Chain A
């Protein structure tokens, strides 16, 4: 089975840095995705990690430790538009290939 945990809510200040954690316990592992979802809208892809380490993409970075079953999404220079839910999704290493999503972390950025 798959178990993915993320904090339910986080609050941060505009211009600051925030780290959103995701821990997982899965029957297999073949990569971890992060998606951003604004209220009432579709999720959009942010990052994909399959190997340990940090992947940087502009203001957003994502880290993975497979041995610890742990990932985080780092958002720098926060902007008001970063207020959204952030979904962690794990892809198993079975032929099924479908991903399992966490419940998401709702981030509120305050002035």
Chain B
């Protein structure tokens, strides 16, 4: 069964600190892995997109890594800001021709002043 698991489920950190969110998937065959940020009451916004051949992708203070062999990805947030408080969702898409996204369980991040 195609699944995407994320950890931790929730996380609280102080402003300015770094954090790393984890994503493990069993989707096969695999095409792309995306990380989204979803603010409360809003739709998801894309942070990074990686194909199976990419190991790392950065977007400002967000850096995503991918190990296609172990089927693991991480999202590292540097120098966190209060505005980083949101849910972060790992999304995997299967082989070409399969347009559906498989959503992870999400990590709820709270950044405190």
Q: Do A and B come from one complex?
A: no
